[in-house]
Amino acid sequence: MNRFGCGCNNNCTALAILASIILGVVAAFLRITAVITVTPAFLWVALGIAVVYLGVILVTSALARGAGGNGCICQVLPILLTGILGAALTAVILLAITFAATSIVGAIITGALILFLSLILTVTACLIRCLFSCDD
């Protein structure tokens, strides 16, 4: 049984991207209406999550490469890296620049941060589902 084979079906990633976009738009709307605020502590946590995920993905992909296969990882890895790097970049931007509570640019960047963070979590769930449900 090859857990990393190419027989995995990754329709889950399309649903993960769609759910992340919806969450990002909702977060941007809530930020522009001043229902939610983004604190520096949240931004540091978001940056930490992105950095930890980057390290975990680096180790996991190296182990999977050594195990002889990387079908599921190679299908999900670009989307996961997009989420990781996007979350890190938007967290750094929001930490560096202070936006007003009802700023449109601040709401868009906050929506992007939530989009990337939810993309990380949902695509990780898809990766785990793919790795442990393949019967090649």
pLDDT at 102 over 60: yes
Q: What are the sequence ranges of the domains in the chain?
A: 12-133
pLDDT at 2 over 60: no
The model's confidence at residue 6, banded by pLDDT at 50, 70 and 90, is: very low
Q: What is the pLDDT of residues 71-86, one digit of tens each?
A: 667 778 888 899 999 9
- pTM of this structure: 0.82
Burial of residue 52, with CB atoms counted within 10 A of its CB: 0-12 exposed, 13-18 middle, 19 or more buried: exposed
- Residue 46: name the closest of 27, 32, 62 by CA: 27
Burial of residue 74, with CB atoms counted within 10 A of its CB: 0-12 exposed, 13-18 middle, 19 or more buried: middle
Residue 95 to residue 37: CA distance in whole angstroms: 13
Q: What is the mean pLDDT of residues 19-36?
A: 91
Helices and strands per DSSP (H, E), number in the chain: 4, 0
